[in-house]
A and B are shown apart, each in its own frame.
Chain A
Amino acid sequence: MPHAKEAELFNNDEAKVNWHDQALWFVRNKRDKAAHTVKGWEELRNLASAIKANVLSNLDDYLIQFEENAQKNGIHIHWAADAEAHNKIIHDILLKNNVKMVVKSKSMLTEECHLNPYLEAHGIEVIDTDLGERIVQLAKEPPSHIVLPAIHKTKEEVDVLFQKHLGTIPSNGDPQYLTNEARKHLRDKFLKADAAITGVNFAIAETGGFVVCTNEGNADMGVHLAKVHIASMGIEKIIPQEKHLGVFLRLLARSATGQPITTYSSHFNKPTEGKEMHIIIVDNGRTEQLGREHFRSSLNCIRCGACMNTCPIYRRSGGHSYKATIPGPIGSILSPGMDLKKHGSLPFASTLCGSCSDVCPVKINIHEQLYQWRQIITKDVKQPIVKKTVLKIAGRVLANSKLYGFFGKSARFMLKHLPKSVINSQTNTWGKARDLPKVENENFEDWYKKRKS
């Protein structure tokens, strides 16, 4: 189903739309306040964008440097060309270590690779330990936001979910009670897990170490208790030097939630004695995206989610309406690169207002890339015949003054003389909820000619 249809369904419940919009606008506002406290915020964005450009131009060298340094520290490095390879590598590590249950902190890459269903199909239990992720996992839903995975759920809905799965008592959506119960539930899982999977926010070429940012400390809890730590990272997560963290960590949390820094910025450099540490470096379409000149900088993304919080369409259509692992504006420029046909409606789910590009901490020109994808999609993916025909005719009419004059006159004549019931009927999508402008007898050009003569 195209985005517009999904969005229409979401909008059947206007109260929920308002709630969703306001919840995310609150986060956007918090971000504004936090960014205002940083002198030279715009300079910081320039710097981050420049560092990422350097990384993408020298990615091969940085990746090899990272691998060498990580191996020196005793970390096992694995390379995965695609999602399938990624999942198989993880499964093999878990098999070798006889792992029955694994705890996982938030990682959009493992979502992208559909790791959970893969491992579950092979008899391994996976527990998502980020609270929001755990909520959607219990609800058997994908995350609807990359930082706030359960933002589409009210606390009352979580209450009902926890009653069913965690045996809680009805609390009318009391957040304190529900969080405490989740904490107890997860603690038990942490203690029993044989392995921990995390994502990677930043992988440092210079040191071979990596940083994982969480607000709940769940990555650390999992890693420190289990004997095996597996970290999944996309090839674009590299930064050249440790000092560059000073740029990215300041931007990330402020952009994401308006915090000065994530509660936990955990640095992993080598395995504890007697334990194993693995990093899976995943391509899964990224090299191809790197090769697309117009879309290369989409790989700058540090997954802060600010473009979702600011997007007036995302806020009013919900993350699930995008039917993609990464929803919202950034997802709408990343997903078409993975599957143009499936995600062909996403670049059109935007007014090109440009708010996403201005909020982006690494200055991805998101709305310009949406425009570029549109040019490709109309050529490579079958378009609705009416839309295609109308626009092709429009192209010819607008290139010809006389034709244009004729069409303009006819359109105004029809608008003026057709009954309102016809003009605002269901076949006119504009008129479903909006009146058309009242039409004057003459257009501007007629008036101008008369005035001049």
Chain B
Amino acid sequence: MKVGLFIPCYVNQLYPKVGIATLELLEKLGVEVDYPIGQTCCGQPLGNSGYEDESKGTCQLFIENFKKYDYIVCPSGSCVYHVKKHFDILEQTEDVINVRNNIYELSQFIFQVLKKANLGASFPYKVGIHKSCHGLRGLRLGSCSERMDVPYSIEENLLKEVKGIQLKTLNRVDECCGFGGTFSVFEEAISVKMGKDRIQDHLNSDVEVITGTDQSCLMHLEGLINRNNQPLKVMHIAEILNSTL
């Protein structure tokens, strides 16, 4: 099994530690991982802003970079969702179809493909999960509060096996944080208010560390937390699952 590691553009540039944790974690689990040099982005910022047509070159480059792998793994539910959902703008060649079928969000890959839950991590802190929307309602990494399905959560399945962790339950278990890509800038007032409200829910629930599968949402929350000097840390789920504290 050959796995291509897709590190989203903003994670590559701004959060290399999340990429490193992802790579180390996969290697720890015995996966042969390769990071294709020269990869860029899935094209989502363009598509979500209404410029899908301008993103075709980006999407095509993505296919070229990842077509040779059995699986593509990425520490972002949102980017994976974009490839699965919106790469219909490309001609559906065998390569495109394969990439779209074989791309997985990190926790989903670990739980569904590797079929592992206990990864030997330890992390003795009180943790609140931010269930990012594209992972939750796009990839169905868990049941969402709107639907009357049998409850489940891939993130919780993995995190509850982490030694010493205390998972906290929020008042609103899966409300959006307000990041929303360019929404965070073009609808700044609402974006900030949504983020503040999410953070308050974590604070009210006695959380020390907010985690999730999408660093973009976490970047937005972290930006607010740091500006307002709030007693919370933000960590990507890969960092916790790779932790031996």
Contacts and interface: CB of A to CB of B under 8 A. Distances in A.
B118 to A, nearest CB: 27
Contact of B146 (A352, A358, A376, A434): A358
B219 A394 contact: no
B46 A411 contact: no
B47 A351 contact: no
A392 B194 contact: no
B41 A398 contact: yes
Contact of A391 (B37, B38, B51, B194): B51
A350 B183 contact: yes
Interface in A361-401: 371, 374-378, 383, 387, 391-392, 394-401
B47 A371 contact: yes
Interface string A431-447: 01111110110111111
B192 A434 contact: yes
Interface string B143-173: 0111111000000000000000000000010
Interface in A1-49: 3-4, 7-8, 11, 14, 17, 21, 25, 32, 35-36, 38, 41-42
B136 to A, nearest CB: 8
B31 interface: no
B184 A444 contact: no
Nearest to A440: B16
Contacts of A323: none
B125 interface: no
Nearest to B18: A444
B189 A8 contact: yes
Contacts of A400: 40, 57, 61
Contacts of A312: 175-176, 178, 194
Interface residues of B, number: 75
Nearest to A31: B146
B40 A401 contact: yes
B40 A404 contact: yes
Interface residues of A, number: 72
B186 A351 contact: no
Contacts of B137: 353-355, 357-358
Contact of B193 (A11, A351, A359): A11
B32 interface: no
B95 interface: no
Contacts of B38: 401, 405
Interface in B1-29: 7, 9, 11-17, 19-20, 23
Interface in A308-341: 310, 312-313, 316-317
Interface in B28-51: 35, 37-41, 43, 45-51
Contacts of A32: 145-146
A443 B37 CA distance: 12
Given A4-B188, A444-B16, A35 B148 contact: yes
A336 to B, nearest CB: 12
Contacts of A397: 40
Most buried by A among B53, B58, B134, B148: B148
The 9 A-B pairs at the shortest CB distance, nearest first, are namely: A399-B57, A351-B180, A434-B223, A395-B54, A374-B50, A401-B38, A378-B50, A444-B19, A354-B137
30 contacts: A3-B187, A11-B193, A32-B146, A38-B148, A313-B194, A349-B187, A351-B133, A351-B180, A351-B194, A352-B180, A355-B176, A358-B146, A359-B146, A371-B48, A375-B53, A377-B50, A378-B50, A391-B45, A391-B51, A394-B46, A395-B57, A398-B55, A398-B61, A399-B58, A401-B38, A435-B222, A437-B15, A444-B20, A446-B16, A447-B16
Interface of A: 3-4, 7-8, 11, 14, 17, 21, 25, 32, 35-36, 38, 41-42, 310, 312-313, 316-317, 348-355, 357-359, 371, 374-378, 383, 387, 391-392, 394-401, 404-405, 408, 411-412, 429-430, 432-437, 439-440, 442-449
Interface of B: 7, 9, 11-17, 19-20, 23, 35, 37-41, 43, 45-58, 60-61, 86, 133-134, 137-138, 144-149, 172, 175-176, 178-195, 197, 219-220, 222-224, 226-227
